[in-house]
Each structure stands twice: as C-alpha cells, then as structure tokens.
Amino acid sequence: MKTFSFRLRWKIFGGSFFSIFLVGLVLLVSSCTTSGPMQISGYGVPTATVQDAEFTLLSWNVHKSKHPDLPGDLQDVLHTYQPDLVFLQEAKPGMVEEPHLAGTLAPAWRHPLKLRSEVGVFTASCVEPLDRQAFRSKSRELGFTTPKTALMTRYALSNGTELLAVNVHALNFERGEPKRFIRQMQTLHRLMEVHEGPIVFAGDFNTWNQERNDYMLELAAGLGMQEVDSFVGDRKTGDHGWANHMLGIDPSLPLDRVFYRGLELTSAQILDLESSDHDPLVVRFRSLPNGKGDSALAMLEPDRGAGELTEEL
C-alpha cells in the first residue's frame, strides 16, 4: 500500500514537474520572437550640425536595470558627460529620457505576457541616423534560450563620408572553440568591411577566454581598427569565482571594449559604479578633417529610411 501510494505521488509530481518545465521552455523560446528595431521616442532635430569636432561615446551593459540605483546612475552619467552617442546592452525601453537624445532598441528577448518588456541593445544619438539595421544572432545562448543582438547606425559627415556606429552584445555561454560567437561576429565583419568611412565598434564582447580575445583582435586588425586601451580606471573583467574558473573564464581579459578607425582618440575613462555587473566606458573622439580643413562631424540631413531586423547569415 505504501509502495503504491509513493508511486502515485511520484507519478503526479513527476507529471506536473514535466508539464511546468515544458510550458516554461515553450514560453522561453517564444519570448525571443521580435518584430524588428523599435524607435524609442522621436528625434527632436532630424537635421543638425555639430559645431564641435569632438564627440563622446558612452557604452554600458546595464544588466537589465536590475539594481535599484541603475536608473539614477544612468541619468547622472548622461548629465555629467553629455554623450553624443550612447550604446547600451541589456537595455529596456524608456531607460534614456533625455530631450536631446533619441534612439533605437534592437530586442533580443521579451516576456511573452508583458508589454514593453523587451531587452536588447540600444543606440541613442543627438542626431537622427541615416539608417539603422539590427541583427539577431541565429544561435541562442546554451542552444535554446535567448539570442543576442547588434545594431548598426550610420551618420552622414560633412566631408562626404559616413560614420558607422556598431553596438554589439556578443553570445556568451560556449565552452571550447567559440563557433557561435565567431559566426555572430563574421556577419558584422562582412558589413563593416564594405564601409569606407570611420567606424566605432563597441559593446559587451564577452571576450573571456584567449580564443575569443585573439579572434576579436584579428578581426579589428583586418578592418584597420584600433582598440581603446588607454582607459583611466579599473576595468571590470571576468569574475574570479570558482564556477567561472571551471567554465574557463580568464579574469584578466576585458569584456567591454571599444574599437575604432578614422577617428582620433582624445580621452577614455571607466566609471566605478556598483549598479551593474559592468562598468560604463566613456570615450571621446575627434573627427579627422577633410582636405578642405572642415570638421567631419557636421551631420547632414538624413535622406534614407531605416533598415529592418534581419537574421544572421
């Protein structure tokens, strides 16, 4: 009798557990479906001229704004440094509410039962881009959970060239040879290599082992890009915990990086904040003059439409 009762309870419990697990898995996979890049608020001045030949980039993985101090810290950083270009990873709609900034969110994940629950990479600027194109990785984390996204925006320059701004959040969980990570980066590489003007390529690259690190350095070198390596401040890198050690995470390698070409680096600093598991990077560039001595950072009126979300190749 006891054996029968135990078997009955186990059958009920096991069946319920499997049903909950199956429903959860379906919701998780379906939550990754996105309709395309989302414009967050409108650009107040679609046509603008930036008089200063320098511009500031803020790049920060905001950890889904889980920490209660994150919204206030983000606003403080925006007010203090007045960035012209903002790259956020693990961002949500409505995180940047500055009147002079507007942008686009490329969602990687959203809760299937909640409105405005999207999470992804977000690019904001003081000037409307010529166009924008989002890329969702074909691979998912651990093979079945969430994909990762990247967002490309282009800005017209006064010397007839265009600045290509690439905001990326790289695939993370992959043991051994980083095949999925490389495939994600190769898609972006193919588009960047046909661009003839300046490039800023930044975000959370998850370069926590030597294979990933070496691949990124090789990719950047092939595109004629340099890495910002003169940061003032301590960089948060891979954690030193025993679990991450078992996964092969090298704590000496940086995860958040900035690559660039066709620009002059004037300053770079890391802000020591505890409201995210990543620290914000603030980098200032000077645009190179053209042959006439004009600043290359005078934005021209956009004359092309926005791109649509595409799957990785």
Q: Give the Cα separation of 223 and 189 in Å (integer).
A: 8
Q: Give the Cα separation of 168 and 186 in Å (integer).
A: 13
Q: Which tokens belong to 196?
A: 């003839």
Q: Give the Cα separation of 233 and 10 in Å (integer).
A: 56
pLDDT for res 161: 77
Q: What is the pLDDT of residues 187-245, one digit of tens each?
A: 999 999 999 999 999 999 999 889 999 999 999 999 999 999 989 877 776 565 655 66
Q: Which tokens belong to 30?
A: 């379906």
What is the CA 165 to chain-centroid distance, rounded? 11
H runs (alpha helix) in the chain = 2-30, 70-81, 179-192, 210-222, 242-246
pLDDT for res 313: 39
**Residue 307 pLDDT more than 70?**
no
pLDDT for res 235: 76
256 contacts 61 by C-beta, under 8 angstroms = yes
Top mean pLDDT of 70-74, 116-120, 145-149 is at 70-74
Q: Which residues lie closer than 8 Å to 131 by C-beta, 6 or more apart? A: 153, 154, 302, 304, 305, 306, 307
Q: What is the pLDDT of residues 246-267, one digit of tens each?
A: 667 788 889 999 999 999 999 9
Q: Give the Cα separation of 161 and 196 in Å (integer).
A: 8
12 SS3 class? helix
The pairing of strands 85-91 and 54-61 is parallel
The residue-averaged pLDDT of 299-309 equals: 45
Q: Which residues lie closer than 8 Å to 291 by C-beta, 6 or more apart? A: 159
Helix-helix angle 210-222:179-192, to 10 degrees: 10
Task: List the beta bridge partners of residue 258.
Answer: 202
Q: Give the Cα separation of 37 and 134 in Å (integer).
A: 6
Q: Which tokens belong to 217?
A: 């350095």
**Residue 34 pLDDT more than 70?**
no
Q: For the domain with range 35-311, which CATH number is right: 3.60.10.10, 3.20.20.70, 3.40.50.300, 3.40.50.410?
A: 3.60.10.10
Q: What is the pLDDT of residues 92-112, one digit of tens each?
A: 988 998 888 889 999 887 655
Residue 232 DSSP class: B
Task: List the beta bridge partners of residue 150.
Answer: 135, 168
pLDDT for res 159: 67
- Helix, strand and coil percent figures for the chain, each rounded to 5: 25, 30, 45
Q: Give the Cα separation of 199 and 154 in Å (integer).
A: 9
Q: Give the Cα separation of 159 and 262 in Å (integer).
A: 12
241 contacts 206 by C-beta, under 8 angstroms = no
User: pTM for this one?
Assistant: 0.81
Q: Give the Cα separation of 105 and 35 in Å (integer).
A: 11
**Residue 18 pLDDT more than 70?**
no
